[in-house]
Amino acid sequence: MNIRIGELYNTLYSHYGNTGWWPAGSADEIIIGTILTQNTAWKNVEMSLEKLRSGGLMDLGKLAKADPQHLGAMIRSSGFYNQKSRRLIDLSRSILTAFGNLEEMKLVPLEELQRFLAAISGVGQETMDSILLYALEKPVFVVDKYTLRILSRIGLSGSETIEKVKELVYSDLGKNVESMKNLHGMIVFLAKDFCKTRPKCENCPILAKCDHGRAQS
């Protein structure tokens, strides 16, 4: 635990700056993306998003009334398309029934939103946190596989639970929505550039803090 989250933030910030994460044109698109990207390469998700956009379905109201088979065909490239189609329709219906629209949903207290989302099939821990932070602007840090892998490689986590990682972020960065959005965004960039399962460590901005860099030097 010799590396602080704040230190990691600063190192990544000097390399990536403001990432503007999550990449989407609307809160609806963010929510749709969180479901589609589950265990799926983002490239495959982008193809689906383009089809939804051109098909006029990038909208929770439209999805709530969509035909599962038709929607499944539109999101085929994202994999698990039967599951994801049904889950997108269910999620859209549940949100609109409970809150009317996303602007109203944003006004609801965090704890109530967490109870609501946890009860929806297809919304697990990471999907819930991504929706809360990026679509609803709630101060919740998103811990995904990238985050755990990177923290593990710089010796911070490894066996830490997701809750512990979150607490560390909150105590070091404060519960600041913009900081948490960007930290997760920078982690995504770092992971895609350098820190995949088979890492490419050349010019990695955190190499000096990482097992891989220390082992080589």
Partner DNA sequence: ACCCAGGTGGCCC
Partner DNA sequence: GGGCCACATGGG
Where does this chain touch DNA (CB under 7 A) — which range of 73-81, 89-97, 106-114, 167-175? 73-81
Q: Which two tokens stand for residue 113?
A: 């939103």
- Report residue 39: phi and psi, to 5°: 50, 40
Distance CA 166, CA 200 (A): 27
The burial of 213, by beta-carbon neighbours within 10 Å (0-12 exposed, 13-18 middle, 19 or more buried), is given as: middle
Bin 40: left if φ > 0, else alpha if -120 < ψ < 50, else beta. Answer: beta
Kindly state the helix (H) or strand (E) to which residue 86 belongs, with its residue range: helix 81-99
Q: Does 141 bind DNA (CB under 7 A)?
A: no
Closest approach of DNA to the CB of residue 184, in Å:
7
Closest approach of DNA to the CB of residue 130, in Å:
4
Q: Does 41 bind DNA (CB under 7 A)?
A: yes
From 199, 159, 61, 129, select the one nearest 207 (Cα to Cα): 199
Are residues 87 and 32 in contact, defined by beta-carbon separation less than 8 angstroms?
A: no
Closest approach of DNA to the CB of residue 168, in Å:
18
Size of the site for DNA (CB under 7 A): 42
Are residues 131 and 117 in contact, defined by beta-carbon separation less than 8 angstroms?
A: yes
Q: In this chain, which of 5, 8, 31, 34 binds DNA, going by CB under 7 A?
A: 34
Q: Does 40 bind DNA (CB under 7 A)?
A: yes
Q: Does 114 bind DNA (CB under 7 A)?
A: no
Per-residue contact string for residues 83-102; x = within reach of DNA by CB under 7 A: xx------------------
90 or 172: whose CB is closer to DNA? 90
Residue type, 159: S
Closest approach of DNA to the CB of residue 47, in Å:
6
DSSP 55: T
Q: Does 122 bind DNA (CB under 7 A)?
A: yes
Q: How many residues does the chain have?
A: 217
Where does this chain touch DNA (CB under 7 A) — which range of 63-71, 77-85, 92-100, 207-215? 77-85
Q: Does 39 bind DNA (CB under 7 A)?
A: yes
Contact residues toward DNA (CB under 7 A) are 21-23, 34, 37-44, 47, 76-77, 79-84, 120-128, 130, 142, 144-146, 184, 188, 191-192, 196-198
